[in-house]
Amino acid sequence: MAKPLPRAWANVEEIEELAVPRLPAAIAGYYTGYSGSGVTIKDTRDSFARWRLLPRCLRDVSRVDTSCSLLGRKLEMPILVAPMAMQCMADPVGESGVARATKELGGGMILSTMSTISLEEVAQAAGPDGFLMFQLYVLSKREVTEAMVRRAERAGYKAIVVTVDAPRLGKRDEDERLQFRCPPHLRLANLAELQKDSAAARAGQESSGSGFAAFFTALIDPSLTWECITWLRGITSLPIFVKGILSPDDARQAVKAGVAGIVVSTHGGRQLDGTPAPLDVLPFIARAVAGAVPILIDGGIRRGSDVLKCLALGATAVLVGRPILWGLTLGGEEGAKAVLSTLRTELEHDMALLGVPSLAQLNEDYIIPPSGGVLALPAARL
């Protein structure tokens, strides 16, 4: 039975405090968690207050178009769901419900390797009109990795998104303290055999701290280099994105390696603590890439105006993570859909106020950097 969707929230920023108390402590801790002292996760959200929008007046905004193009596909909004593990912990519809919500609203979704519903089932839920990409961890067992890539290709996924910022998990104190594990009634559906009977499974079971962290550490290949991109390009015809880029040097190297796109990300503030916020490095990444490939960005996006700032600084689209989990927790599939719909409505509204009827018109002229306000802008932009 579908959950009744609460109407007590007016925007995406409000829903976390409503959703978290409804979850068991270990699950809430995993979803809200961060690494280290939480410097990066806090700064990521704060970064949106540092960059200011510079509107234009007397522009015809009687019609506002929120659509964008990604991998040759028109999306009705530049908002995709970020890859997040174990969404069935929030609601039984999990990843399938989110896939249906994104299809209905004309967005897209990146499915996690660590999903609790198989990539084939999620593809079936999205249907032929859905836009799905598959997030991939390159495992020590390359044959298992290759099998997942081929499954995603057969199921109709549009791209492979390789996470490159996790040679091991960040130090997540809350997960260790609460001994977080995938709940016994759920499974990591894309890794079912490895979760059931493998050295990684035994490591997870025997851990006195976070069983999930121990399982993950035993699975992942920490010796990866850019060679893995060459290897992946050799086993699939799907476009390959790399997720977790913060350095312009890495962005240039990614383009040189033949990737089809870049995701600027701090892994939700859950990997190395003390790194810069994705929004702050985005313009440098955009200049390094120079339009060669699309750029996606995630981290801290809660408002339509946040989306505008990302796009003005060079992103093609944004990824939204935790708010989707809160929507699922509060209202299942309808809750996830409400979160996406709220963001899309705010985006359309704020585009009109900014004076841009089309996303294609956005550029750095519509944004003020944090360094010194309006007086720091070149005269041509005043």
Residue set of the binding site for FMN: 83-85, 112, 135, 163, 243, 265, 298-302, 321-322
DSSP labels, 160-208:
EEEE-S-SS----HHHHHTT----TT---GGGHHHHHSSHHHHHHHH-S
Contact 298, 318 (CB under 8 A): yes
Q: Give the residue from 355, 117, 301, 358 showing the smallest Cα distance to 367.
A: 355
Contact 298, 354 (CB under 8 A): no
Q: Give the residue from 262, 240, 364, 263 showing the smallest Cα distance to 313.
A: 364
Q: Which residue has the tokens 């699939």?
A: 236
**Calpha distance 141→116 (Å, rounded):** 20
**Calpha distance 305→31 (Å, rounded):** 24
Sequence ranges of the binding site: 30, 83-85, 112, 135, 137, 163, 172, 243, 265, 267, 270, 298-302, 321-322
| Token code pair at residue 295 | 């750029």
- Backbone torsions φ then ψ of 187, nearest 5 degrees: -145, 155
Side chain identity, residue 229: I
**Calpha distance 219→136 (Å, rounded):** 12
Contact 312, 369 (CB under 8 A): no
- Backbone torsions φ then ψ of 296, nearest 5 degrees: -110, 160
* Annotated catalytic residue 267: yes
* Per annotation, catalytic residue among 267, 303, 309, 344: 267
Sequence ranges of the binding site for glyoxylate: 30, 137, 172, 267, 270
What's the CA dihedral at 319, 372, 288, 65 to 10 degrees?
Answer: 40
Side chain identity, residue 312: A
229: Cβ contacts below 8 Å, ≥ 6 apart: 162, 240, 242, 254, 257, 258, 259
**Calpha distance 317→26 (Å, rounded):** 32
**How buried is 372 (Cβ within 10 angstroms: 0-12 exposed, 13-18 middle, 19+ buried)?**
exposed
**Which residues participate in catalysis according to the annotation?**
267
